[in-house]
Amino acid sequence: MPTYYPVRRMGITLDEQNFILRRLAQLKVEGEVLDVGCGNSLIPIQLSKAWNRKIVALDIWDEFPLETAIKNAKEEGADVEFLKIERPTLKLPFPDSSFSFVYSVMFVYNLRKHEREALFTEIRRVLRDGGLFLLVDPVIVRRERTELKGFKEVSYREENALFYYLARKE
């Protein structure tokens, strides 16, 4: 039986994660997918199954064991590759233009300003031209979307104290 528990850094319950998951699963996504800051791995595992595609999931693995995430993906029959990223650089271990879709749920708001800027630069680097980036974070930090340089807003909405900001790489 898979093991999931809330990650303090994310600040949301499993029910709230499942709510976000249902919203994400409705998206029509093509190409390679990257999850930045996957927390307890629930979202990338379930999205992999819903979208029937591989998802690469990164985290700093400070609160949830990487081994448990790998075990959960195997038990759930999901195609997820888990990798570690290091603070403070948050360098993404991929060549330029590796992904068509990148998303981050309840991770970016935990970062310092210089870390956010570095991460956004890395996300832009690994996204293909025209690729999409979805940022889901608490409404209280919605200013983060103004720090996204080289992206054009596709949509923005607020729901349950979270914002969903979808942007296209220019």
Q: Say how many domains are in the chain.
A: 1
Mean pLDDT of all residues belonging to the chain: 92
Q: What is the pLDDT of residue 146?
A: 65
Least confident of 10-14, 67-71, 118-122, 151-155: 10-14
pLDDT tens digit sequence for 13-63: 899 999 999 999 999 999 999 999 999 999 999 999 999 999 999 999 998
Backbone angles phi and psi of 58, in degrees to 5: -115, 150
Structural domain that includes position 33: 14-169
Q: For residue 20, give the CATH number of its domain.
A: 3.40.50.150
139 located within any domain:
yes
d(CA 165, CA 109): 13
Q: How far apart are CA 49 and CA 34, in angstroms?
A: 15
| Residue 2: per-residue pLDDT | 82
3-class state of residue 126 by DSSP: helix
2 located within any domain = no
* Cα 24 to the center of its chain, rounded Å: 10
pLDDT value for 12: 85
Buried b (16+ CB within 10 A) or exposed e, 68-89: bbeebbeebebbbebeebeeee
Per-residue pLDDT for 147 more than 80?
no
CB-CB contact of 3 with 74 (8 Å)? no
Q: Choose among 53, 146, 167: nearest CA to 104.
A: 167
Residue 142 lies in a domain: yes
What are the DSSP calls for 37-101, one per residue? Answer: S-TTSHHHHHHHHHHTS-EEEEE--SSS-HHHHHHHHHHHT--EEEEE--TTT----S-TT-EEE
Band (pLDDT 50/70/90 cuts) for residue 6 is confident
pLDDT value of residue 35: 98
**Residue 27 placed within a domain:** yes
Mean pLDDT over 97-113 rounds to 93
Residue 133 DSSP SS3: strand
The CA distance from 144 to 137, in Å, is 9
- The more confidently predicted of residues 98 and 114 is 98
Q: Is residue 4 part of a domain?
A: no
The pTM of the full predicted model, rounded to 2 decimals, is 0.94
- Residue 8 belongs to some domain of the structure: no
